[in-house]
């Protein structure tokens, strides 16, 4: 029994150790994001009005405190609205993207400012907003809408170039995304690490195997002997009496419980924006269909190795249905019980 456990543990390392490494990488990445977010949050946001256009750094975080120069809006999406603001400290026009309560407040300020500009009020709005966000360049659509707004207001091309700052203080592009992403990565990494460590040191890789051995009434020494004489592939071992699938939970498949073994190649095409092909991923598997019509999957390196595995299994258990064809697939779907009877009849005498 001890020898068998050692062999199963050795095979489990190939699965659990990479998972532990991935978990550590995820934890580290999440920690870095959270650390960067905390570091940014702990540093003081700079007041935008203290800086001219040429001093403002794209990508940095700024705040606008007690601000009321919201003049108009030029676009909106399902979440928020793009407002035109006038920077009276350096006489520039810029966009401010707001959502939720800030958007509602900005709309109220805008209406009061229009009342002043129309002559129905004696002053600009006395209401103000205070917001924080990251200064970023407008994308092409945002810039087009902003230009159209200025052109409709009578600005010439030269005036637009000299008076417009094609950046926006994006209050949605705050530290929230970093906190969320960092938290998700850290949580996934921690969960995966706990799962991997508990599975490895808790013997999760062997429980299903040991239960099946006891159910079959086969001595662990016999299983261990067959494993010693088996052939190891990517995540499975082919022995004279069974196939051992290795992974987070090892699985033992005895030949007298199988009906059909065949190879499968799956190609996934990766596309940018769902249109432009950027590459493809090809995976190769060997599928084992048992007497209950349940399919168990073992991965292999390539199509050649898949063929080697099936050929080797056919040597040990020539009564099994091996290989894939439409005829076999239709029979499995329409008369699986007939396939089982066929295998049982062929197995007689082995």
CATH numbers and ranges of domains, the chain: 46-173 (2.40.50), 206-347 (2.30.29.30)
Q: In terms of DSSP H, where are the helices of 202-302? A: 207-216, 220-228
Nearest residue to 196 via CA among 325, 46, 14: 14
Top pLDDT among 262 and 15 is at: 262
In sequence order, the 6+-apart residues with CB closer than 8 A to the CB of 245 are 235, 236, 251, 252, 253, 296, 297, 298
Q: Which helix (H) or strand (E) holds 66?
A: strand 61-67
In the three-class reduction of DSSP (H, G, I as helix; E, B as strand; rest coil), residue 92 is classed as strand
pLDDT above 60 (res 2): yes
Specify the pLDDT at position 304: 87
336-339: which pairs have CB atoms within 8 A and are 24 or more residues apart? Answer: 336/259, 336/293, 339/259, 339/260
pLDDT band at 108 (very low <50, low <70, confident <90, very high): very high
- The three-state secondary structure class of 323 is coil
Q: What is the pLDDT of residue 276?
A: 60
What is the reported pLDDT for 45? 82
Average pLDDT over residues 320-343: 90
pLDDT at 262: 92
Mean pLDDT of the 164-190 span? 85
Among candidate residues 172, 184, 185, the one with its CA nearest the CA of residue 61: 172
- Could you tell me the pLDDT band of residue 27, with boundaries at 50, 70 and 90? very high
pLDDT, residue 350, reads: 61
Question: Higher confidence at residue 8 or residue 312?
Answer: 312
Tokens of 15: 């699965």
CB 81 within 8 A of CB 98: yes
């Amino acid at each position: 029994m001890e020898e068998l456990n050692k062999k199963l543990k050795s095979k489990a390392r190939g699965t659990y150790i990479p998972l532990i490494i991935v978990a550590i990488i995820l934890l580290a990445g999440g920690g870095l994001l959270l650390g960067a977010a905390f570091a940014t949050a702990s540093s003081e946001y700079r007041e935008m009005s203290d800086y001219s256009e040429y001093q403002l750094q794209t990508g940095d975080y700024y705040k606008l405190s007690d601000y009321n120069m919201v003049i108009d809006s030029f676009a909106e999406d399902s979440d928020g609205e793009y407002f035109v603001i006038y920077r009276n400290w350096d006489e520039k026009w810029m966009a401010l993207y707001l959502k939720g309560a800030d958007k509602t407040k900005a709309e109220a300020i805008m209406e009061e400012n229009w009342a002043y500009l129309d002559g129905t009020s004696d002053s600009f709005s006395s209401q103000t907003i205070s917001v924080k966000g990251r200064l970023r360049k407008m994308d092409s659509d945002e810039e087009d809408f902003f230009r159209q707004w200025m052109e409709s207001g009578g600005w010439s091309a030269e005036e637009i170039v000299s008076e417009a700052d094609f950046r926006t203080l994006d209050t949605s592009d705050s530290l929230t995304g970093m906190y969320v992403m960092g938290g998700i990565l850290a949580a996934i990494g921690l969960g995966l690490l706990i799962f991997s460590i508990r599975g490895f040191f808790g013997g999760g890789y062997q429980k299903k195997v040991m239960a099946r051995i006891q159910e079959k009434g086969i001595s662990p020494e016999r299983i261990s002997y067959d494993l010693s004489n088996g052939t190891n592939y990517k995540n499975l071992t082919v022995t004279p009496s069974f196939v051992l699938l290795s992974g987070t939970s090892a699985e033992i498949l005895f030949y007298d419980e199988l009906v059909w073994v065949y190879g499968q190649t799956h190609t996934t095409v990766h596309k940018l924006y769902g249109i432009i092909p950027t590459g493809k991923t090809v995976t190769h598997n060997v599928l084992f269909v048992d007497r209950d019509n349940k399919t168990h999957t073992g991965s292999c390196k390539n199509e050649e190795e898949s063929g080697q595995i099936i050929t080797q299994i056919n040597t040990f258990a020539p009564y099994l249905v091996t290989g894939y064809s439409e005829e076999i697939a239709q029979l499995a779907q329409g008369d699986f019980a007939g396939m089982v009877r066929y295998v049982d009849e062929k197995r007689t005498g082995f």
